[in-house]
């Protein structure tokens, strides 16, 4: 695990974008794993700037997102598909037809989850997976207690995560769905390179457990210690407990 600590949180986005750009330089048809949340936005903005400048292209790549709410109508502005289109895909030259997102509106959710795993496998697996981390150590929507071998499945959101995410639903916790579909920890661990970005003191305990804690399902991100190629980008505040 490589841990890169920067004084300036803005620099994290530039370094993260460099990892994306290097991956695409080596593998123009790379399969990217995209995370929603505020943390990766600086990476997406820096990649979009590079695309606009003509120094990189995603025209041959494809992408898979990590997770989706259950119960939001398709096209809802806070569905993670809408968010990743707005935050990233609409700003770059990735074909939206090659953006894959878990289907939280499927009539048969377990079948849709199995199909999503199949799509990732058919694409040859994920070359570079961008990740954020929850303050409680969750990755994607794998909350504390998630099986470290888990695959894409339906999960119940913790009340804390619903409270945290209420800011995207006009502050109304009751409007935040109670369930989600998420790639499992085991799914995420199969990506060839994991790039996790975190900033702020509220992430310091999670970053400590990720890097230095015992491997435990109570801090799902801690299992990344077993992955052969992980890059962790953190600012001083997020690194303050290392
Ligand atoms: C959500 C997402 C995670 C994300 C986390 C942290 O729960 N499902 O993928 O990592 O929030 O979000 P942020 O980066 O906004 O702190």
Q: Is 69 in the pocket of ligand 1 (CB under 6 A)?
A: no
In terms of DSSP bridges, do strands 179-182 and 153-156 run parallel, antiparallel, or are they unpaired? antiparallel
On whether residue 240 sits in a domain, the answer given is no
Domains of the chain: total: 1
Compute the distance from residue 195 Cα to the ligand 1 centre, in Å: 14
On whether residue 125 sits in a domain, the answer given is yes
CA dihedral (42, 47, 53, 59) positive or negative: negative
Active site residue 136: yes
Q: Is 37 in the pocket of ligand 1 (CB under 6 A)?
A: yes
Cα 65 vs. chain centroid, distance in angstroms? 7
On whether residue 242 sits in a domain, the answer given is no
- Which residue, among 156, 172, 177, has the nearest Cα to 76 in the 3D structure? 177
On whether residue 88 sits in a domain, the answer given is yes
Determine the Cα–Cα distance for residues 229 and 208; give it in Å rounded to an integer: 18
**How long, in residues, is the chain?**
242
Neighbours of 203 (CB within 10 A): 25
Ranges of residues in the chain with a pLDDT under 50 are none
On whether residue 31 sits in a domain, the answer given is yes
Q: Return the pLDDT at 9.
A: 81
Report the atom number in ligand 1 closest to the C-alpha of 40.
Answer: 14
- Which residue, among 128, 150, 132, has the nearest Cα to 140 in the 3D structure? 132
- Which residue, among 133, 129, 139, has the nearest Cα to 197 in the 3D structure? 133
Q: Return the pLDDT at 74.
A: 80
In angstroms, how far is the first alpha carbon of the chain from the final one? 14
Active site residue 29: no
Q: Give the CATH number for residue 106.
A: 3.40.50.1360
Residue holding tokens 């990743």?
84
Domain around 23: 2-235
Q: Return the pLDDT at 77.
A: 96
On whether residue 241 sits in a domain, the answer given is no
């Amino acid at each position: 695990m490589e841990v890169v600590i920067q004084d300036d949180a803005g620099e994290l986005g530039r370094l993260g974008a460099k990892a994306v750009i290097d991956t695409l330089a080596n593998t123009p048809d790379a399969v990217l794993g995209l995370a929603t949340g505020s943390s990766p936005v600086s990476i997406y903005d820096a990649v979009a700037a590079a695309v606009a400048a003509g120094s990189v292209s995603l025209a041959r790549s494809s992408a898979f997102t990590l997770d989706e709410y259950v119960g939001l109508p398709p096209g809802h502005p806070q569905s993670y598909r809408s968010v990743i289109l707005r935050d990233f895909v609409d700003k770059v030259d990735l074909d939206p037809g090659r953006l894959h997102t878990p289907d939280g509106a499927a009539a048969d959710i377990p079948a849709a989850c199995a199909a999503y795993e199949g799509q990732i496998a058919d694409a040859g697996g994920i070359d570079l997976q961008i990740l954020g981390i929850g303050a409680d150590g969750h990755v994607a929507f794998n909350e504390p207690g998630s099986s470290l071998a888990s695959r894409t499945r339906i999960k119940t959101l913790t009340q804390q995560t619903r409270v945290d995410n209420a800011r995207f639903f006009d502050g109304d916790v009751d409007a935040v769905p109670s369930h989600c579909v998420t790639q499992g920890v085991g799914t995420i661990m199969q990506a060839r390179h994991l790039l996790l970005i975190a900033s702020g003191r509220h992430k310091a305990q999670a970053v400590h457990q990720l890097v230095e804690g015992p491997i435990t399902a109570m801090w799902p991100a801690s299992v990344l210690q077993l992955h052969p190629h992980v890059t962790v980008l953190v600012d001083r505040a997020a690194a303050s407990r290392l």
